[in-house]
Structure 1
């Protein structure tokens, strides 16, 4: 399966750096070429079905209706 088009504008290509697998959900850390770490929490079932393992090339797609900013 390949994606021909997608409406998600925030896309980060990278490699899976780490997968912390839980019984129901798992954390997937994706490292971009620039060193940015994007973490996704997805079902463990999806991790297995997508074959997500460290070193795999992936695209992290971020779609959000709100981004909050706090001052330090």
Structure 2
């Protein structure tokens, strides 16, 4: 049986609350533990009101969550991995631009796109965008035992 002295926290949640958490975990491909830990860590930041978030809040309201789902439908793409983030940096090198997106607190994604796409889409640091990831294979590497 989990004990408070071991760091375990247990609580009851309504069926609606569990569904919200399950849906959010499914959408973000993250565990309940990760989501709840992030929520607890964010409480201190919310109190101070001085911290500037590195990335957009997961979803501040039900409306934002619905807009995210609408964006997925509007894109009409086969990729299932759609990550919302803010542009943290743009580095231009010739015809290509390297965009760094803050997709979660402490998590960045780097994408290489053309400079003409940056200009056409009017991309700038701080703008909220979506990264669309489509891959036929994902490989995992580890140091050999």
Question: Do the two structures share a fold, i.e. TM-score over 0.5?
Answer: yes
Which of structure 1's runs of 4+ aligned residues deviate more than 4 A?
Answer: none
Residue 44 (str. 1) matches residue 118 (str. 2): no
Higher helix share: 2
CA RMSD of aligned residues (A): 1.5
Q: What is the alpha-carbon distance in structure 1 between the residues aligned to residue 79 and residue 107 of structure 2?
A: 19
Residue 102 of structure 2 corresponds to residue 31 of structure 1: yes
> Pick from 77, 91, 94: which aligns with 1:6?
77
Q: Which residue of 1 aligns with 2:27?
A: none
Q: Which one has a bigger Cα radius of gyration?
A: 2
Number of aligned residue pairs: 71
The normalised TM-score by structure 2 is 0.46
TM-score by length of structure 1 reads 0.87
Residue 21 in 1 paired to residue 103 in 2? no
Structure 2: 5+ residue stretches without partners: 1-70
**Bigger relative CO (Cα 8 Å, ≥ 6 apart):** 1
> Which SS does the other structure have where 1:47 is aligned?
helix
